[in-house]
A and B are shown apart, each in its own frame.
Chain A
């Protein structure tokens, strides 16, 4: 009897330990009258900025507690998808336009039309926060753009004048030739990328990837096809590394080690680049993208612009509280705090200056104010509900073209077929 009892106690203890540790994973503190919210983001670099916004909100609402959690990009989406399926999404989270349709069209996101005024935000940011039905399923967070980064030392050494807003593709080529001849370094480094690469060229040339409402692929249209093949053929020049070389050493690494004079980058990288390469401070600067000299239509100017939104779950437990915080994040005050963190340009109209000032204040000698006028001709990031299934295929075809497995013409034809199929299948 005594022995049995001992055994029983032992088993109960073990069971207790196990259930205790399991319960520990799932429970979240629900303290009395106030609520505690989880705010999940994918960029640890922006955590401090997000925390500042949460702080400002908590000062006004002492009963609420907001915890900002940051993960890596891949982990973020794996986590969010699992959470969505099991209805345990974080209270507030970022939504990327890549994924917006997937979540919004499946009914996982709360309708935010009632808490913000669409016209307060840049139209691209507002568009990116919408689902297929045209309703706002997020609060616009920011807007971004692509810029030309150039190494001033290499330009000086080659005796070439710095890029400005009058530059065309031809000027960029001429400068690359000159720099390559004089210094032996690379000129413009055109690596395989859609948003940071050939999409810009396509829209500058008057072409497009998808038609207006995203229901038809336009790769084989003349303006589009010409721009894509122009972009790919840049790698045939001695002054541009090949795609194989980029796979060894990325364009950013080449640029900041002084091996290449120019490349395209997104503005969201700037603060990190300034922090990572303090020795290069003052030796590089940014300019708007060179325009197309003889576009099929339009004035030759375009730049791809994308944005992130804040969102909350349709079936969230703290939905009401979360919506109130979302409204704050979308307010002028909230967006201002974000701009001052320097990593992202606020989506709210007229707050670009807050972002520009951060660079000056931190002593980063790049003139980002030169980029702001480019928002006037920016083009919304290419997107439609079936993008997730066609994008990896198109990317693979691009690499096949670069590797010489298919010709440029065949490749563009293949892209057209793949995207058309994906749209029909969806």
Chain B
């Protein structure tokens, strides 16, 4: 009896100590989220005055070509960036783990894009991809409209996105790789395994938990892509209507046109999309992620 009472007191202290975080989450995250769900069923414009309109926003959304296009663009962007990005990051991580001179310098170079402001990154790349005066077309001797051809611009932005995230992902994976005990490799070496076999049968399974985290984070970030598009494509670009992502469409509806209700429906759809993709990944992880040390 007495013991149980003490436990309860410990509970109270525990809750008290995490309460600032919990209150913060409730006020800053949970409440706005619920409010957004509610707004998506209203015709809210600006300054909060609104009427309940049921599923109207969602019906309008499903019938909008612009919305379907934005959904496809977002998915396409993920297909373009996530597999390539994560694979490249893994390769870079393995290489950075190797015994090479100036390892620290290379690590710093790969990590550098992460500490540069995304807006600055986008501006520099935009100049490099300039179709008339850009260095990319000059070096490749091509004449590609990198940022104004609606069919090319998503690829262009994907290249920049992969480049920007590469260092961060690689460093995460590198820390996973460095946690693998050397004894596995020594044993494999004695058994006559090639480097490739060592990578395939030791490194990959052992780093799979980290790889899983990186994969989830990269997918979420790609589904939410906005800043790069805003900076590189931007208003006044004829390709914008065909290249915008879901969050960009949300931004334009919400903050430029002032259709808060409709914009809320778009963002709720985006959340559902991210939720489903993440759920699928969690279900799929049993097949390939190895949690045994």
Taking Cβ atoms with an 8 Å cutoff, the residues of A that contact B are: 7, 11, 14-15, 18, 74, 77-78, 81, 84-85, 102, 106, 108, 191-193, 243-249, 388-389, 392-393, 395-396, 399-400, 402-403
Taking a contact as CB atoms under 8 Å apart, the answer to whether B257 and A78 are in contact is no
Interface segment, one of B207-215, B234-242, B264-272: B234-242
Taking a contact as CB atoms under 8 Å apart, the answer to whether A106 and B47 are in contact is yes
Assembled-state Cα–Cα distance A389/B255 (Å):
11
Contact status of A244 and B46, CB under 8 A, knowing A388-B258, A399-B237, A399-B240 = no
Q: Mind listing 11 A-B residue pairs with CB under 8 Å?
A: A11-B17, A14-B20, A106-B47, A243-B148, A244-B148, A248-B133, A248-B147, A388-B257, A395-B235, A396-B241, A403-B238
User: Does B130 touch A at the CB level, under 8 Å?
Assistant: yes
Taking a contact as CB atoms under 8 Å apart, the answer to whether A403 and B239 are in contact is yes
Q: Which residues from B are CB-within-8-Å of A247?
A: 147-148, 233-234, 236-239
Question: Shortest distance in angstroms between A350's beta carbon and chain B's nearest beta carbon?
Answer: 37
Assembled-state Cα–Cα distance A403/B256 (Å):
22
Question: Shortest distance in angstroms between B68's beta carbon and chain A's nearest beta carbon?
Answer: 16
Taking a contact as CB atoms under 8 Å apart, the answer to whether A18 and B240 are in contact is no
B 99-132 contacts with A by CB, 8 A: 130-132
Q: Which residues from A are CB-within-8-Å of B258?
A: 102, 388-389
Assembled-state Cα–Cα distance A244/B151 (Å):
13
User: Does B192 touch A at the CB level, under 8 Å?
Assistant: no
Taking a contact as CB atoms under 8 Å apart, the answer to whether B46 and A102 are in contact is yes
Assembled-state Cα–Cα distance A64/B134 (Å):
53
Q: Which 9 residue pairs of A and B lie closest in terms of their CB atoms, listed nearest first?
A: A244-B148, A403-B238, A247-B237, A399-B238, A248-B130, A247-B148, A388-B258, A243-B238, A392-B256
Taking a contact as CB atoms under 8 Å apart, the answer to whether A85 and B48 are in contact is yes
Known contacts A248-B133, A396-B240; 15 further A-B pairs (Cβ under 8 A)? A14-B20, A108-B47, A243-B236, A244-B149, A244-B237, A244-B239, A247-B147, A247-B236, A247-B239, A248-B147, A388-B257, A392-B252, A392-B256, A392-B257, A399-B241
Mostly, the B contact residues are loop
Contact flags (1/0) for B24-45 with A, using CB distance below 8 Å? 0000000000000000000000
Assembled-state Cα–Cα distance A310/B124 (Å):
37
- Partner of B131 from the list A15, A191, A245, A393 (CB cut-off 8 Å) is A245
Taking a contact as CB atoms under 8 Å apart, the answer to whether A244 and B145 are in contact is yes
User: Does B16 touch A at the CB level, under 8 Å?
Assistant: yes
Taking Cβ atoms with an 8 Å cutoff, the residues of B that contact A are: 13, 16-17, 20, 46-49, 130-134, 145, 147-150, 233-241, 252, 255-259
Q: Which residues from B are CB-within-8-Å of A81?
A: 46-47
Q: Which residues from A are CB-within-8-Å of B132?
A: 245, 248-249
Q: Which chain B residue has the least Cβ–Cβ distance from A245?
A: B132
Q: Which residues from B are CB-within-8-Å of A392?
A: 252, 256-257
Q: Which chain A residue has the least Cβ–Cβ distance from B237?
A: A247
Question: Shortest distance in angstroms between B81's beta carbon and chain A's nearest beta carbon?
Answer: 22
Q: Which residues from B are CB-within-8-Å of A393?
A: 257
Question: Shortest distance in angstroms between B227's beta carbon and chain A's nearest beta carbon?
Answer: 13
Assembled-state Cα–Cα distance A389/B52 (Å):
20
Contact status of A11 and B46, CB under 8 A, knowing A249-B133, A399-B240 = no
Q: Which residues from B are CB-within-8-Å of A244?
A: 131, 145, 148-149, 237-239
Question: Shortest distance in angstroms between A169's beta carbon and chain B's nearest beta carbon?
Answer: 23
Q: Which residues from A are CB-within-8-Å of B131?
A: 244-245, 248
